[in-house]
Amino acid sequence: MPELPEVEILRRHLEPLLKGRTVRHVTVRRAKVLGKTPVRDFKRRLQGATFQKLERRGKFLLFKLKTVRAGDRGRLVGHLGMTGRMYLQAAGAKLPKHAVVVFNLGRRNFVFEDTRYFGRLTFDDRSLARLGPEPLGPEFTTAYLAAALKRSSQAIKVKLLDQSLVAGVGNIYASEILFRAGISPRVAANRLTLAQVQRVGAATRAVLQDAIAGGSTIPLDWAGEGTKDGWFYFGRTAETPDYYTERLQVYDRQGQPCPVCGTSIRRLVQAARSTFYCPQCQK
């Protein structure tokens, strides 16, 4: 599921559902996702805690909790990894095969499901310290980006995936951003002109903002049957309008015509990840 737009959409969806709800009981089915937090500590801090705000930093969700013990400022950090999902379902409903952590909130359960177990739900917040600026925040300026890119000879596509450069861009939107900017994914970061850096910054904001706007129109109900992991990016269901499936211009469209010039979209591998681009539009 998850790059910045998907996490932001999930945050907006979950916050009103969780706010004011108190955790009655915690079930941990895969201790791995707690990271360094021991299961016993995790449960002790969460039992009786009440959800307050839900924030986002890059691809991380930050659950602000009012905990039972005074002075224990609860900040639970969530990350969806590659296949994580979070949703509420009736307390009596059957849990999915890969339910990893379940919070009972009374009549409903808040479920963290993660097929590949790459996700995290933990009180260990050290990952956050390594993040660069929010791409939709005031610190993500052309001046910042130019200075940061100057220090790297890595290909710009690979650099966009570096969470310490900018927090929240993943493999799908990195290709989309460079297509929008009209820049080849192979160009070394430190060889971009200032005008190109400016375009990368503007395209980053535009692509992410558009994705959030598009996804926010869709009702989320992952507890229901018939929804798939690819829902956000590619999915077509009875409820999703056609335009939504057209949102991605180049990702996973190898061999298809470029939506701008008709040239065949190409795939290449960089840092062991697929990149998609139009060889005509992106020089």
Partner DNA sequence: CACCATGTTCCTTG
Partner DNA sequence: CCAAGGAACATGGT
- Residues annotated as part of the active site: 2-3, 59, 273
One residue of 98, 186, 205, 247 binding DNA per CB under 7 A: 98
- 9-38 footprint of DNA as x/- string (CB under 7 A): -----------------------x------
Tell me the window of 8-16, 86-94, 105-113, 156-164 that interacts with DNA (CB under 7 A). 156-164
One residue of 24, 53, 150, 151 binding DNA per CB under 7 A: 151
One residue of 22, 27, 104, 127 binding DNA per CB under 7 A: 127
Instruction: Tell me the C-alpha distance between 147 and 67, whole Å.
Output: 42
One residue of 117, 144, 218, 279 binding DNA per CB under 7 A: 117
97 binds DNA (CB under 7 A): yes
- 210-239 footprint of DNA as x/- string (CB under 7 A): -------------------xx-xx------
179 binds DNA (CB under 7 A): no
| Shorter beta-carbon distance to DNA: residue 105 or 166 | 166
160 binds DNA (CB under 7 A): no
116 binds DNA (CB under 7 A): yes
Of 183, 217, 221, 219, the C-alpha closest to 88 is 221
Tokens of 138: 């005031």
Residue with tokens 């499936």: 245
3-state secondary structure labels for all residues of 157-181? HHHHCCCCCCCCCCHHHHHHHHHHH
- 57-86 footprint of DNA as x/- string (CB under 7 A): -xx-------------------x-xxx---
One residue of 172, 178, 203, 207 binding DNA per CB under 7 A: 172
273 binds DNA (CB under 7 A): yes
Q: How far is the CB of 81 from DNA (least distance, A)?
A: 5
- Give residue 272's region: left, alpha or beta (phi > 0; psi -120 to 50): left
Instruction: Tell me the C-alpha distance between 178 and 161, whole Å.
Output: 12
In sequence order, what are the beta bridge partners of 99?
113
User: Residue 58: which residues within 8 A CB-CB, separation 6 or more?
Assistant: 4, 7, 131, 134, 163, 167, 168
CB 212, CB 174: distance < 8 Å: no
Instruction: Tell me the C-alpha distance between 209 and 176, whole Å.
Output: 12
- Give residue 158's region: left, alpha or beta (phi > 0; psi -120 to 50): alpha
Question: What is the contact surface with DNA in residues (CB under 7 A)?
Answer: 1-3, 6, 32, 58-59, 79, 81-83, 97-98, 115-118, 127, 130, 151-154, 158, 161, 163, 170-172, 229-230, 232-233, 271-274
